[in-house]
Structure 1
Amino acid sequence: MASSAPLLRIGVVGYGHLGQFLVEKILSEGPGVGLELAFVWNRNPDKLKDMFSKQFILEDLSSFAERRCDVIVEVCHPHIVKEFGVRFLAKSHFMVGSPSALSDPALNHDLRQAAQQNDRTVYVPSGALWGGQDIQRLSDSGTLKGLFIRMSKHPSCFRLTKDVLSDWSEGEGRRVLFSGSVAELCPLAPNNVNTMAAAAVAAGALGFDRVQGEIVSDTDLSDFHVVEVEVTGPDGFTVHTVRRNPAKLGAVTGSATYKSFWNSLIVCKGHGGRVYLC
């Protein structure tokens, strides 16, 4: 017997490649998994013209509450999380597609407080992170001792706030761009290290300051992004995983991550006033 439960209304903030993928999935498959599109917003509204019925286009993000969303999904930029995150949580659950924003301790605190006060959930999608729930279980049990993540990509796939790749050339090979805490790394590559940020959320006992990250430019990686995760536990316990995520030249997000985001969105049906890795 078909369920008579109302569909969850989803607002999508951002209409880049990932936003387009999610909107298309909601429109085509959403009703089958209990979702419907409430609105789409994009920084450049001209990109939405002739794409949708006007009923779906939100021109002013400040008027999001009028659309009565159950979940708002940010797939745009960390600045949106900072400017609207607390406001979103006053009205709906919030899926943070740019969890690098959570490296800001004040914003992290404010979002957690807003979630608790409003009984809403801040969802952090796993993205390209493999084994996030296992890391979280170790952290929750007090046995997580260390976490290191390395992300290697073709230089055309990086979007950095500092001009450290302006001199790259084809065939140069491998270059370490940064190695240090994820807290320091997130402002340098806010669009590239959301997987690391998700890991830092999972490793709550360590936090962004104690999770270590490294980004590597490698001109040999023309077809893949590579994500390596090294987990350290008690008494010599270690796990080392390597994930190769198919990606085109210049792509910030690997292709397998799109489906991962969709699977994460399906989970976002309310998990109380907290941060939840999905």
Structure 2
Amino acid sequence: MTTASSTSPLRIGVVGYGHLGQFLVERILSEGPEVGLELAFVWNRNADKLKGEVPPQLILQDLSSFAQRGCDVIVEVCHPHIVQEFGERFLSKSHFLVGSPSALSEPKLNQQLRRAAQQGGRTLYVPSGALWGGQDIQRLSDSGALKALFIRMSKHPSCFRLTNDVLSDWSEAEGRRVLFRGSVAELCPLAPNNVNTMAAAAVAAGALGFAGVQGEIVSDTELSDYHVVEVEVTGPDGFTVHTVRRNPAKLGAVTGAATYKSFWNSLLVCKGHGGRVYLC
């Protein structure tokens, strides 16, 4: 385990207290001193959910007053709407780890946050989540050699949170159904809570962007124990890579179990990488 340095610990603000937020808060409180992290605040849309779970002095009632807590890093783990409403303000005061990178599929917001990071000299961190090989995709893109990127995410229908009723009629005997195939830019608004891995891939594939990366989401009633993430990378002269990741997950779980640990490792990276977007 990494030990804390002699410098002051990084003060972390956690925005959102769902399953992932709870995991992060518990781990910062229990292991923070050992890894150089200190919890500055926790905010949740329903503050009553925090009572008895989070020390009272760490509960932030009004998110607009986040700057008073003097955070080094603010972590969003709730909803893209928070990224839209507070992203620029967070970056004006702190580094920002965006747990809902699907929000970045909106071109205007994407540019606003990139500009805010550059102007303030702070880092907009994008966690890899369930994406395997993100750094390799990024290097291929930066070198100009990335030609195409396709991602398929397959889950049990109970694990999807969609903005329309396309899955309202599913049954356990249904089997496999392709729900959508197209650009990640089109897919993110349809399933903002399910495709953050695809959004991270679109950030890594900077040369292609959200409009150039292709994605597919699949409902499969056979997947009762795990999610499946398939990534197909195409480079020059016949170069291809195809990875398949099976991420253990309970029925109804939006996020697979292994992604929690991945997110924690991403947080440990957030120590400042200049005014830019950084995949971690």
Contact 2:202/2:213 (<8 A) preserved? yes
Q: Find the counterpart in structure 1 of residue 142 from structure 2.
A: 140
Structure 2 Cα separation of the partners of residues 222 and 277 of structure 1? 30
1:120 matched to 2:125? The reply is no
Q: Could you tell me which of 83, 86, 92 is aligned with 2:85?
A: 83
Deviation of the 1:228 alpha carbon: 0.1
The one-letter code of the counterpart of 1:22 is L
Match of 1:205 among 202, 207, 225: 207
TM-score of the two chains, using structure 2 as the length reference:
0.98
1:83 and 1:47 map into 2 onto residues whose CA distance is: 22
* Fraction of identical pairs, as percent: 86
Q: Is the 8 A contact 2:20 2:77 kept in 1?
A: yes
Number of equivalenced pairs? 278
- How far did residue 53 of structure 1 move? 1.8
- CA displacement at 1:2 relative to structure 2: 7.1
For 1:86-235, list aligned pairs within 5 A. 86-235=88-237
| Alpha-carbon displacement from aligned partner over 1:191-213 (angstroms, at most 9, x marks no partner) | 00000000000000000001000
Deviation track 1:180-227 (CA, whole Å, cap 9, x = no partner) reads 000000000000000000000000000000100000000000000000
CA contact (8 A) 1:200 1:206 kept: yes
Does the aligned pair in 2 maintain the 1:7–1:34 contact within 8 Å? yes
- d(CA) in 1 for partners of 2:102 and 2:73? 20
Note the C-alpha offset of 1:50: 1.2
The 4+ residue runs of structure 1 with deviation greater than 4 A are: none
Question: What's 1:37 paired with?
Answer: 39
What whole-Å deviation, never above 9, does each CA across 1:55-99 have from its counterpart, x for those lacking one? Answer: 100000000000000000000000000000000000000000000
DSSP-derived class of the 1:90 partner: helix
The structure-2 alpha-carbon separation of the partners of 1:40 and 1:2, relative to structure 1 and needing over 3 Å to count, comes to closer
**Equivalents in 2 of 1:58, 1:120: separation in Å?**
23
- Residue type of the partner of 1:92? S
The code of the aligned residue for 1:157 comes to: C
Q: Aligned-residue CA RMSD in angstroms?
A: 0.9
The Cα of 1:152 is off from its aligned counterpart by: 0.1
Q: Which amino acid aligns with 2:226?
A: F
Residue matched to 1:236: 238
* CA distance in structure 2 between the aligned counterparts of 1:148 and 1:104, rounded to whole angstroms: 19
Decide whether the 8 Å contact of 2:124 with 2:278 is kept in 1.
yes
> Which blocks of at least 5 consecutive residues in structure 2 are unaligned?
none
CA distance in 1, matches of 2:120, 2:33: 27
SS of the aligned residue for 2:93 comes to: coil
